C-alpha cells in the first residue's frame, strides 16, 4: 500500500498505529466474549475455561498481537487508555461468574501466559493451564 493512502484516512502514522491497536483490543474483547459464552453454563467448570485459554494461547499470531498491544501501552498513553478500558471490560464480564479479586487474578494469569507464549514460542501445557484455572476458580475455604 502506498504511504500516501494511509494519510488519506489518518492524520499520521501514529494515528494509524493507535487505530490498529484499538482494533486488536476490540478483537480481544470479542474473543473473551466467546470464552464467557463457552463457560456460561458453569464457570466452575474449569475445564471449559482452560480449554478456551489453551486454544487462545496456541494461536501464535493472536498472542503476538496481544503482546504488541501491551508493549505499546507502556510507551503511549492513548494505547494505555485502550488497554485499561479492555481490562475494566474484562472485569465487568467476569462479574456474573466470579468475584473481582479472582477476575483480576485470571486476567493477570492470561497476560502472563500471553507474554510467556511469545518468549517461549509455545503456550503452557494444557495441564498447567488447567491447574491454574482450577486454583483461580477454587472456593476459598479458609475465609469461613
The set of residues, in sequence order, having a beta carbon less than 8 Å from that of 13 and lying 6+ positions away, is 6
Domain ranges of the chain: 13-137
What are the DSSP calls for 84-134, one per residue?
A: HHHHHHHHHHHTTTS-HHHHHHHHHHHHHHHHHHHHHSSPPPHHHHHHHHH
Q: What are phi and psi of 139, to 5 degrees?
A: -65, 140
Q: Tell the residue number behind the cell numbers 497476560, with chain if given.
A: 111
**pTM of the predicted structure, to 2 decimals:** 0.76
What's the confidence (pLDDT) of residue 33?
Answer: 73
Q: Span 13-137: which CATH code?
A: 1.10.357.10
Each residue's pLDDT tens digit, 25-67? 778 777 777 766 665 655 557 888 888 899 989 999 989 988 9
Amino acid at each position: 500500500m502506498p504511504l500516501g493512502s494511509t494519510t488519506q484516512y489518518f492524520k499520521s502514522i501514529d494515528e494509524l498505529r493507535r487505530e490498529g491497536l484499538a482494533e486488536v483490543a476490540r478483537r480481544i474483547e470479542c474473543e473473551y466474549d466467546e470464552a464467557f459464552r463457552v463457560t456460561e453454563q458453569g464457570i466452575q467448570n474449569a475445564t471449559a475455561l482452560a480449554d478456551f485459554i489453551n486454544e487462545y494461547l496456541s494461536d501464535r499470531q493472536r498472542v503476538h498481537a496481544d503482546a504488541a498491544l501491551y508493549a505499546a501501552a507502556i510507551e503511549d498513553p492513548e494505547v494505555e487508555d485502550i488497554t485499561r478500558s479492555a481490562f475494566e471490560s474484562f472485569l465487568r464480564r467476569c462479574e456474573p461468574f466470579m468475584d473481582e479479586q479472582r477476575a483480576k487474578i485470571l486476567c493477570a494469569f492470561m497476560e502472563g501466559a500471553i507474554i510467556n507464549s511469545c518468549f517461549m514460542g509455545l503456550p503452557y501445557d494444557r495441564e498447567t493451564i488447567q491447574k491454574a484455572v482450577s486454583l483461580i476458580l477454587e472456593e476459598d475455604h479458609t475465609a469461613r
